[in-house]
Chains A and B, each alone.
Chain A
Amino acid sequence: MSLPSRPPHRRVRVTSPQTRIALSRRHRPVQQLLPLPDGTLDDGALAAARATFARQRRLALRTATGLAALLLGLSGLLAALPALDRITVGPVPASWLLLMAASYPMLLVIAALHVRAAERIEDSAAPERHRPAVPGPGTDAHRPGTGTTTGTRTGDWGPAAGGGRP
Chain B
Amino acid sequence: MTGLLAIGLLLAASMLIGVYGVRAARSTPDFLVASQEVKPTWNALAIAGEYVSAASVLGLAGLMLKHGIGTLWYAVGFTAGYVVVAALVAGPMRRSGAYTVPDFADYRLGSQRIRKLCAVIVLVIMWLYLIPQFKGAGVVLHLVSGTPYWVGVVLAGLVVSVSILAGGMRSATYVQGFHYLVKLVFIAVPAVVLLASAGPEGRAEALHVDLTAWSRPLLDLDNSGEPLLATWSVLIATTLGAAGLPHVIMRFSTTATARAARRVAVWVIVLLGLFYLFPAVYGLLGRVFTPELATEGDTDTVTVVLPGAMLPGTWGAVLTALVAAGAFAAFLSTSSGLLLALAGGLSHDLSRTGATGVGRLRLAVAAGALVAVLLSLPAAAVDINVLVGWAFAVAASTFCPLLVLGIWWRGLTVAGAAAGLVAGVCASTGAALASAVVDAPHGWVVVLLAQPAAWTVPLAFAVMYGVSRLGTPPEWAERAVLRLHTPDDTARPR
Contact = CB atoms under 8 A, between A and B. Distances in A.
Interface of A: 15-16, 18-19, 22-23, 25-26, 30-31, 33-37, 41, 46, 49-50, 52-53, 56-57, 59-60, 63-64, 67, 70-72, 75-76, 78-79, 82, 84-86, 91-93, 95-96, 98-101, 103-105, 107-108, 110-112, 114-115, 118-119, 122-123, 125-126, 129-130, 143-150, 152-153, 163-166
Contacts of B91: 118
B27 A22 contact: yes
4 residue pairs, one from A and one from B, having the closest CB atoms: A149-B97, A104-B273, A31-B110, A37-B488
Given A37-B483, A92-B207, A115-B262, 7 more contacts: A19-B27, A52-B487, A56-B485, A63-B87, A115-B265, A144-B488, A145-B493
A64 B388 CA distance: 24
Could you tell me the dominant secondary structure of chain B's interface residues? helix
B83 A110 contact: yes
A152 B99 CA distance: 13
Contacts of A36: 479, 482-483, 486
A166 B110 contact: yes
B217 A148 contact: no
A79 B217 CA distance: 8
A49 B235 contact: no
A104 B476 contact: no
Contacts of A26: 348
Contact of B231 (A19, A34, A75, A84): A75
A153 B204 CA distance: 61
A59 B357 CA distance: 40
Interface string B480-494: 111101111111110
11 contacts: A15-B27, A22-B27, A31-B106, A71-B80, A72-B235, A79-B227, A79-B231, A98-B217, A104-B277, A108-B273, A148-B36
B346 to A, nearest CB: 13
Interface of B: 27-29, 32, 35-36, 69-70, 72-73, 76-77, 79-80, 82-84, 86-88, 91, 94-97, 99, 106-107, 109-112, 203-204, 207, 209, 215-218, 227-228, 231-232, 235, 239, 256-257, 259, 262-263, 265-266, 269-270, 272-273, 276-277, 280, 348, 356-357, 408, 474-476, 479-483, 485-493
Contacts of A126: 487, 490-491
Given A60-B88, A93-B207, A115 B263 contact: yes
A127 to B, nearest CB: 9
Contacts of A95: 217
Given A33-B476, A125-B487, A147-B257, A25 B266 contact: no
Contacts of B72: 99-100
Nearest to B480: A33
Given A33-B110, A85-B215, A85-B216, A91 B207 contact: yes
Contacts of A112: 266
A8 B255 CA distance: 38
Nearest to A97: B217
A9 to B, nearest CB: 20
A129 B263 CA distance: 24
A107 B110 contact: no
